[in-house]
Structure 1
Amino acid sequence: MHASCLSLFYRGMCGGLLVLATACTPVTMLPELSIPLRNPTAQIASQVDVTTERLAGRWQIVEAAGVPVGSELVVSDGVMRLGEVSLPFVATGPGRFQLGEEEIWVHWLDINNRTAAMGEPGGARMWIMDRTGKPGERLKAAREILDWYGYDLTRMERAR
């Protein structure tokens, strides 16, 4: 197929998909952000020893962008509950999870499972959560990891 024909074909496909996507937009638990929170050229990784078992239990969102700060987050039995919304939470790889329709990576979890830095690798959202809501020195470590992976920390809100 000629290059200009391919270009028209792909543009038509993308336009059709866009119309379809907007007509069938699913209800999501978190607001969409128009400008990504992460530099897509920065390196990124997940922490390979993080499992759903290590994340199980209650957490407090202490800093975040794209997630309600101060909210309680609970992980249990293949579900993550944030406030009143519960979504399937399934491991897809080392430190990587499917949360509803979205991919979420754990970028850092301290050795005692007290504080975690998490984010959507495309930059839709990021957050730091802690078991007590008072991470102390671990907050600095979590922020450094998110910064290293290209997240824009100036867009994070802090719990009061």
Structure 2
Amino acid sequence: MRGLIAVIGLVVLSGCLGRTQMPDATGPRDADVPMSSMAAFDPLEFAGRWNEVMTYLPAGASCVVGGMTFTPQRGGDMTLTEGPCADGTPRRGLAKRVGPGRFEFMGETLWVLWIDQEVQTAVIATPTGRAHILSRSLSIPADKRQAAKEILTWNGFDVSTLAPARRN
């Protein structure tokens, strides 16, 4: 009997592990699915220009990203430049490191979910449902696109609403 109680206790406790309290999702993401960022994220390796290949376009978006440039700063922070936006100006600011592969930028937490081994394809997302498939070039091979979609699915995203990125 004591063993059964211990097993039940472990099952109940295991339901609490790996869960992070997330804000209410506003995008195509199931907030009940735990999300994970890259523990071994290297800002120097990730630095440079990335082109947005696929994204979720939130209703009323004022900035179609198109591309992102990451510039490493001291302490693991990065300067992030998005855009240019529809008005021709980029959004630029400090992406403050708040955890492994996680950055606070303009009121949202960006999570680096995946980077391919060659550091040519990446997936970044927010717990609230924004996500971007990025590439160093303007396109990515089919196998990398599929891997990026699988990473998004694993992290609770509905990839059926993922769209090719628009160019300004």
Could you say whether these structures have the same fold, taking a TM-score greater than 0.5 normalized by the shorter chain as the test?
yes
Cα distance in 2, alignment partners of residues 108 and 149 from structure 1: 11
Cα distance in 1, alignment partners of residues 140 and 101 from structure 2: 20
- Paired residue for 2:144, among 126, 131, 138? 138
Matches within 5 A, 1:79-90: 79-83=79-83, 84-90=90-96
Is residue 92 from structure 1 mapped to residue 98 from structure 2 by the alignment? yes
Q: Which residue of 2 aligns with 1:75?
A: 70
Which amino acid is 1:59 matched to?
Answer: W
Moved over 3 A (4+): none
SS at match of 1:79: strand
Q: Which residue of 2 aligns with 1:105?
A: 111
Deviations 1:61-88 (A, max 9, x none): 000014726x121111421111111121
SS at match of 1:74: strand
The 8 Å contact of residues 26 and 128 in structure 2, kept in 1 or not, is answered as no
The 8 Å contact of residues 61 and 73 in structure 1, kept in 2 or not, is answered as yes
SS at match of 1:144: helix
How large is the Cα RMSD of the aligned pairs?
1.8
Matches within 5 A, 1:1-150: 35-66=26-57, 68=64, 71-77=66-72, 78-83=78-83, 84-123=90-129, 125-136=130-141, 137-150=143-156
Cα distance in 1, alignment partners of residues 28 and 43 from structure 2: 25
Q: Which residue of 2 aligns with 1:13?
A: none
SS at match of 1:37: coil
Percent identity, please: 29
Which amino acid is 1:156 matched to?
Answer: L
The 8 Å contact of residues 51 and 91 in structure 1, kept in 2 or not, is answered as no
1:114 shift after superposition: 0.8
Cα distance in 2, alignment partners of residues 121 and 113 from structure 1: 23
Which amino acid is 1:80 matched to?
Answer: L
- Gaps spanning 5+ residues in structure 2: where? 1-24, 58-62, 73-77, 84-89
1:43 shift after superposition: 2.3
Tell me the matched-pair count: 125
Cα distance in 2, alignment partners of residues 99 and 109 from structure 1: 19
Superposition TM-score, scaled by structure 2 size: 0.68
Which amino acid is 2:69 matched to?
Answer: V
Distance verdict in 2 for CA 1:51–1:97, change over 3 Å: farther
